[in-house]
Structure 1
């Protein structure tokens, strides 16, 4: 299935987005006896032995569609290294898989993209060093494209979430938007300028028109060093011909407004069997590429398929596609099976981002206070292209829903000044650093020193914390007005060597136990590896009472799931089991707050859930900076009950004693 090139990104419901990888498109044919990897033109890739071995180890019968990519140490794609992989192996090889069309004897062509991806994610391993699921992003196409440009990626792919796989067609359900202008071209010859000592000066390039004629579109004279030229000359030797392969013999030494003098270039014609990829600035009015740069040979395609790719207007094409579909609300990754749309407390979320443009420093008046935001393009989540600017815009957008859970609560500042891979540190005392308008709670430490906790208060306070590099927001369970009495009790399901489906199973067992004794509970993803379950207390009980109650519940969970859960706090003694953490319920302890971003790859969010959503197939990366705001516009705040009327703990414990007898 091929994508249609369009001229611009767009925001429309019903579309999901993926990275456009700069590599070789490949179909993998897996069975338990043999694995083969083929190009789109059905040429076998036999040089990528690491991928074949990794796929064979999966022991699947399947057909997978993806992209073979060589990555440099900085995470950027190295197409040249991929081209010469058999000889150099100078980069990290990955197979990014974005679709599956056959599985265990069953064709998947009748399933939608979302259904196929669910199956794909279920059968492929997590965190494999070679085999990767190419992530789908449920987000703004325009924002995602901007992120791709900042990361210097080739571009993005937009896909209709409810589309079917149509083999060998240039589909309008898959659209590609390039951040850089690229074109596959046929090499029709090479030139040497007078007096040059190089193997050649430039390559003469062409594409085929509708009649099958090779049309000259200019030359490329940059992008290859002496070593690459030598390798190309070895390819050229057997292809030299007296006949010009172009329909009309071109003047390869033709002057232009950019190079008005002739250089004495002489052509050597080649049989048109080699394809290369170029990057270029623009096409001139007479159809020639300008400022072209050589990116590498492509041996995965048929030269006769190489045509000039012209951009279609995105708006026109998307409108046409939408006429063919009954558009629904934006598809969310956790509601594919069609449960009732969750609803909660509504709040007006920001329509426009707080920080726009490309300036590295901006000042904004927030709640009557002037805040300075610096180093805005710095990538805090480099693998995902998420910058400080994106983080500030997220917290500004989510503030109306988040602030009730921060109000009057002491904050533990977990600072990552250089992003998620930088050295982090906790700061609890802001006595000397907080702005004079910030609210604080004084306290005396064990050494008798006077300190001050920052109190959550308003949007300015939240954004000031973010400006310190507080990627995640960590509020106390209690407020400064009742510091010894938490508003809620928390059970933290902390997996070790467990699958996330086991976390989900433990969460549902916890829910059933609590329901049996009449206790409401509210789940959220941790944004890291586990699930947090909150129980409202209404600040009516002490931390000690809260911890004893949590202990009572998790002991029963452990009795029902002894094979993979434990109450052992020491990691070394857990034996790989999931820790049922009840000890978080103590003064001064914090966990990532609701709607908090996490310093984890994927820019995940700690997201409230309906219990109906806590089921197999749920993933931590279902909720990220890219899709959280869109979800919250649909769901509202599902967590408001946490701050509501607390339970009658004494009555509940009496009921529990009967239940657990």
Structure 2
């Protein structure tokens, strides 16, 4: 593949060029597809580099090659979105050549769009407190294990960590959303000084937001090994549980990636027990009935 404008600077601070970005994605594409193959994608593109305004692209462009499949999804307000779906490593590189910096994917596949096979818990420290983010991540795992579940850690390349739980086929979004809200609520109740379900940053008071909201239809999560549009070009990478205590969420770059490519994350998949998880959460005092309002009108 010929890279257009190969010397264009996409990350000005470290001086990373477009060809370096494309070569990165060529290298990691097989690992990315371990997670993203056959899934609707949203592309975060920066045609003039990350210091200029970028955009999120949900619709596959007409000029995308036919090897990039399409999934047409109705929109609530009418019309449709036609998502790109990738199965070939060469198409990851092609999309990088379109100035894609970050790939975001659904938690369900194009083949079974209403049956998520990942549950995601996002640990978001309000003030970039990495130590507290580590505590929150470990706390979530402890609760998962009570229900015979487990996951792997993703250092997001941003402020916090994700916990990814692989699921067996057949779960509904309602079950996964309810279960993740229950797990997040139990974690927050057990660690009230460090964790919160408060969406509004002004009300978090330095606590880590245990975000369960990535578990609904069409919600997305960053694809592992994607770059992030931050000044020093960090990567989203998997981290072993035995590494969490020393891991930084934004601790890896293109030139320090070697130790991530072989991280062992083969676990599960697991079958949720939504009724048992919800019963335990209610017994602990978790409010599962108040509708979530990201604007804080219920607080």
Instruction: Tell me, yes or no, whether TM beats 0.5.
Output: yes
Aligned partner of residue 19 in structure 2, secondary structure: helix
Give 1:631's aligned residue.
259
Match of 1:646 among 245, 253, 270: 270
Asked which structure has the greater CA Rg, the reply is 1
Structure-2 change in CA distance of 1:650 and 1:547 (3 Å): closer
Matching residue of 1:497: 127
User: What do residues 399-444 of structure 1 show as CA deviations (whole Å, max 9, x unaligned)?
Assistant: 1211121111001111111222110111111252322332111233
Q: Is the 8 A contact 1:602 1:621 kept in 2?
A: no
Equivalent position of 2:174 in the other structure:
544
* Superposed CA offset, 1:444-500 (max 9, x none): 334543442100211122112211211011111100111011111000001112510
Q: Residues 396 and 431 (structure 1 numbering): CA distance in 2 closer, same or farther, change over 3 Å?
A: closer
Alignment of 1:586-601 (within 5 A): 586-601=216-231
1:659/1:458 CA distance change after superposition, 3 Å? farther
| CA distance 1:657–1:506, change in 2 (3 Å) | closer
How much has 1:656 moved relative to structure 2?
Answer: 4.2
Query: Which residue is 1:574 aligned to?
Result: 204
In structure 1, the partner of 2:161 is 531
Offset from partner CA, 1:599-625 (integer Å, 9 cap, x none): 11222111111111111x422343111
Map 1:282-297; keep pairs closer than 5 Å: none
2:159–2:250 Cα contact (<8 Å) kept: no
More strand by share: 1
Any idea what SS the aligned residue of 2:31 has? Answer: helix
Q: Deviations over 1:177-215 (max 9, x none)?
A: xxxxxxxxxxxxxxxxxxxxxxxxxxxxxxxxxxxxxxx
Q: What does residue 83 of structure 1 align with?
A: none
Secondary structure, in 3 states, of the residue corresponding to 1:591?
strand
Pairwise CA RMSD of aligned residues? 2.2
Give the structure 2 partner of residue 485 of structure 1: 115
Q: 2:203, 2:272 → 1: CA distance?
A: 35
In 1: Cα distance, 2:91 partner to 2:156 partner:
23
Q: Which has the higher helix share?
A: 2
The 8 Å contact of residues 539 and 646 in structure 1, kept in 2 or not, is answered as: no
Note the C-alpha offset of 1:571.
2.7
- Using the alignment, how far apart are the partners of 1:639 and 1:659 within structure 2? 32
What TM-score do you get using the length of structure 2 for normalisation? 0.88
Q: What's 2:97 paired with?
A: 467
Gap change, CA 1:419 and 1:539, over 3 Å in 2: farther
Which residue among 62, 67, 71 is the counterpart of 1:432?
62
Name the residue aligned to 1:378: 8
Gaps of 5+ in 1: 1-363, 365-371
RCO (CA 8 Å, sep 6+): is it higher in 1 or 2? Answer: 2
Structural mapping, 1:344-355, within 5 Å: none
Question: For the residues of structure 2 that align with 1:562 and 1:464, how far apart are their CA atoms?
Answer: 46
Q: Secondary structure at the match of 2:227?
A: coil
Q: How do 1:94-243 and structure 2 match up within 5 A?
A: none
- The 8 Å contact of residues 498 and 576 in structure 1, kept in 2 or not, is answered as no
SS in 1 for 2:27: helix
CA distance in 2, matches of 1:505, 1:451: 39
Quickly say closer, same or farther: Cα 1:509–1:448, change in 2 above 3 A: closer
1:559, distance to aligned residue in structure 2 (A): 1.2
1:618 to 225, 239, 247: 247
Structure 1 residues 382 and 487 mapped into 2: Cα distance closer, same or farther (>3 Å)?
same
- Looking at structure 2, the residues matched to 465 and 621 of structure 1 have their Cα atoms a distance apart, in angstroms, of 23
Helix, strand or coil at the partner of 2:277: helix
Q: Confirm or deny: 8 A CA contact 1:489 1:585 kept in the other structure.
A: yes
- Corresponding residue pairs, total: 285
Secondary structure of the 1:608 match is strand
For structure 2, the 5+ residue unaligned runs are 286-299
